[in-house]
Structure 1
């Protein structure tokens, strides 16, 4: 465990400083607006603030994940063609599939990147809170007093935020709150993945290796969080639940406003755009009619075509003209 501990310490040291800096900043800000600096509420809200800062910093990665996920969906027909062509040769199929991924700029594991990058932060926060709760051990920018305050703070004055479901100290309130947070964390994980598969994946992408990967994430991740969540401190559960809620909202916005072609979300957006265009078109048309009901050219009187001048002989051969014209020309009717 010595080598593993050294490796973890090497990776976690810069994270300790980053996480503790954000926590302290939020703690000072919330304390300045009137929250009890020694209460658990201020630390829980500081953890929520930490989550928001981390997720905001990961937005570029989320955009990359969305683009890669969309590319995976769009190239599924080509993947199926490769499967039909090289299905008998697994090695060649793998080579051609990876070549296709490279040409299309697609990373099949991009959907896992936000979770993978958050895991070190997650475990660092877990260790930071756990060590502070045990003996007030400070890490990063936390002083000994702040570490002790952080580790021993209680939500609502009775629920220690460092306690877990399985280590509640016999406190029923801790167990109830931890259970609620575990269920919320598990449900938001499942619904986020379900939302992606049901609304932003075309029908032809619901089969094949990529679909299998998505289905695996759909059912495995919630189980992992449900099993592991009972050992997470309340403060850490607040972090992960807040992060999942952020992911749900962020993904909902992207799917609604920029869905992948050929998906139910894309069809729904086309319907909304069509309805919006019809509403705008009706308003514009009404305005045009009221301002200018008919084009100017249509309101002008029809101009009479002037007859050509004819000689007297031509007029006689044509059978003559009306009485008025005859009088004009000869002074009497012809």
Structure 2
């Protein structure tokens, strides 16, 4: 076998597996190789857990943004420039990054493929043999016989690959294939139910309806593929896949209890905050309306007082005018009497 571009990851992972195996085997623990595979899988998946949580957060945010995104696409379907501007504005407003959910997945892929190479070729990645050594060993072999020669040679070199009655260097046709298929099914089912429970928008948007339809198809085909592939590869690989699916269920449980509930609580708090802001705004409007009414009442009172004051002034002027006229008439009357005398 030739070196792969993933050797920079596969070699240290294989050395870590060998370190765990040597420790367990030195302690005379039965099934050391199988337990080492389980522990290595858990270590790697544990290190990838923060990326998984980030992916879950991005998926949840996507489900939240999707309805508004569809509204924009529908509203500006004839104006691509305006659509892009509004979508960018929405992303900035909500803090959603469309590529945010892709990067964690892309980072995981080379690590997972590297583990596949480790379990497929323990001579190179676990025992430290050269690729030329393996290439000479498998000369003339084809198909599954290539892998079988590799794992058989690894056992001859002292790597005990027995795991509680199962030889992880050989095919196993009953227990591990069934477990692999079962945990694959449970993983997809649990993930779907979690999405429905913690993302109310998940079933409403068209994209998520399509995703759910694909997941339903995966619920059928993925376990079947896991089972039939498990019948064709060494049991060490099947054990790795089984533990990976089991850990995926555990990851989803952690996401439900920590990430989704936290996001749900945060969303409820935001909704409460919005309700309080609406109530405060409504109270401001009512208060403003009340102040306007009070101002109008005060204005009416002021106007009434002004009108009354003006009436009083006019009344006083009339009285003065009448008094002046009386005095003038009285004066004229006295003058008339004097003239008669």
Quickly name the TM-score band, shorter chain normalised.
0.5 to 0.7
1:142 to 120, 124, 128: 128
TM-score (ref. length: structure 1): 0.59
1:153 to 154, 158, 161: 161
**Cα distance in structure 1, aligned partners of 2:169 and 2:204:** 42
Q: Give 1:68 shift.
A: 0.9
**Cα distance in structure 2, aligned partners of 1:43 and 1:55:** 18
Q: Give 1:75 shift.
A: 1.4
Higher relative contact order (CA 8 A, sep 6+): 2
Question: Superposition pairs for residues 92-171 of structure 1, below 5 Å?
Answer: 96-97=86-87, 100-101=90-91, 104-108=94-98, 111=101, 116-132=106-122, 137-139=123-125, 142=128, 148-149=154-155, 153-157=161-165, 159-163=166-170, 168=171
Check whether the contact 1:186–1:225 (CA below 8 A) recurs between aligned residues.
yes
Q: Give 1:227 shift.
A: 1.4
Question: Superposition pairs for residues 214-293 of structure 1, below 5 Å?
Answer: 214-217=212-215, 219-220=217-218, 223-224=221-222, 226-231=224-229, 232-259=233-260
Report Cα offsets for 1:55-90 as digits up to 9, x if no partner.
121122122112212211221331132133134567
State the number of aligned residues.
243
Change (3 A) 1:240 1:114: farther
Structure with greater Cα Rg: 2
Determine helix, strand or coil for the equivalent of 2:125.
Answer: coil
- Please tell me the root mean square deviation across aligned C-alpha atoms, in Å: 3.8
Change (3 A) 1:125 1:62: closer
Residue 59 of structure 1 pairs with residue 61 of structure 2: no
Change (3 A) 1:128 1:203: closer
Unaligned runs of 5+ in 1: 169-173, 268-334
Q: Give 1:182 shift.
A: 2.7
Deviates more, 1:57-66 or 1:248-257: 248-257
**Cα distance in structure 1, aligned partners of 2:125 and 2:201:** 50
2:16 to 19, 22, 25: 22
